[in-house]
Amino acid sequence: MQAAAPDAPESTVPVQRWKAVCAYDGTSFAGWQSQPGGTSLQDVIEARLRVLAKGLVRVHASGRTDAGVHARGQVFHFDLPWRHGAERLLAALRVGLPPTILIKSIRPVANDFHARFSATGKRYEYHLYLGHPDPFIRPYVWPLDRPSAPDFAAMRKAAKVLRGRHDFAAFSAFTGEEREDTVRTLRRLEVVRRGRRVTLVAEADGFLYKMVRSLVGALVSVGFGKLTPEDLRRFLDEGRRTPAVETAPPQGLFLVRVDYPRAAPKRMNAVKRAKPRG
């Protein structure tokens, strides 16, 4: 009986681009982008891929979340020669990551796919809490410990002003990098209250640096009478950042979903998140 041929050496396996979807608790990380101390999400994921690839592998995310910001559906891509299929790659990558990061799915994609530049939209949620939250909730909300609740009708009126296609320069913060186009289409901005929990849902074709947290800060200021919906309209028209727009703290913010054009499946099916045990 003829012996089975050995696996081809890794050097003969073609490089494949992989799309991954992950969730993470951002509390203990210095944001997504790589940092000198190696404490970012990018650093941790790349360190695990370096073990699998026996060399440097760069990951490219749909966007850079700040320190303390969380995600349920962050997307990143990377290039890796891997002959064992998506399911085994998913399992291998999960094994070496901390429990605060979950790779939800991995699948092969075309080489021209880019996690950031191929995206057509994103959805964020920001969570507020009226009063003193449970200690198991506090790391994931902005507590509004005030004598009275905000004016939700005013907040919803202000959200309506902000929806649509505008120059959102007044609701972003720049870091000295080359200034990008600040026009975005805010498709959805809603204020949803369930008891003491308040969720602000934002969907757009893209978001500027700290744009969601600035929108939230502005809406909360409207809710407590510090600003009016007309003030927000004026800020949009003026197109300049103002101290009147407060930046909400990071812990209440979640990147929920990144949207891409529909594409035909590539050779192998995506590996779905395993059902929770117990």
Given a cut of 50, whether residue 190 has pLDDT beyond it is yes
More confident residue, 13 or 128: 128
Question: Are 13-117 and 121-256 the same fold in CATH?
Answer: yes
| Least confident stretch, 36-40, 73-77, 218-222, 270-274 | 270-274
Lookup: tokens for 192: 């949803």
Q: Catalytic amino acids?
A: 66
144, two tokens: 């509004």
Query: What is the pLDDT at residue 38?
Result: 81
- Given the structure tokens 């805010």, which residue do they identify? 186
pTM over 0.85: yes
Higher-confidence residue of 12 and 74: namely 74
- 250 and 67 in contact (C-beta within 8 Å)? yes
Does residue 274 surpass a pLDDT of 70?
no
Delimit the domains of the chain by residue range: 13-117, 121-256
CATH number of 121-256: 3.30.70.660
What pLDDT sits at residue 208? 95
Residue-level pLDDT at 263: 63
**Rounded Cα distance, 130 and 172, in Å:** 26
Tell me how crowded residue 90 is: count the other CB atoms within 10 A of its CB. 22
Whose CA is closest to 65, among 37, 90, 42, 94?
42
What pLDDT, on the 0 to 100 scale, is given for residue 169?
94
Average pLDDT over residues 28-46: 94
The predicted structure's pLDDT at residue 82:
93
Q: Residue 57: pLDDT band by 50, 70, 90 thresholds?
A: very high
Task: List pLDDT tens digits, range 62-92.
Answer: 999 999 999 999 999 999 999 999 999 999 9
What does the pLDDT average to over 8-16? 72
Rounded to whole angstroms, the Cα distance separating 13 from 85 reads 12
Separation of CA 123 from chain center: 8
Q: What value does the mean pLDDT of the chain take?
A: 90
| pLDDT exceeds cutoff 90 at 3 | no
Name which of 248, 243, 239 is nearest 212 in CA terms.
248
Please give the CATH number for the structural domain made up of 13-117: 3.30.70.580
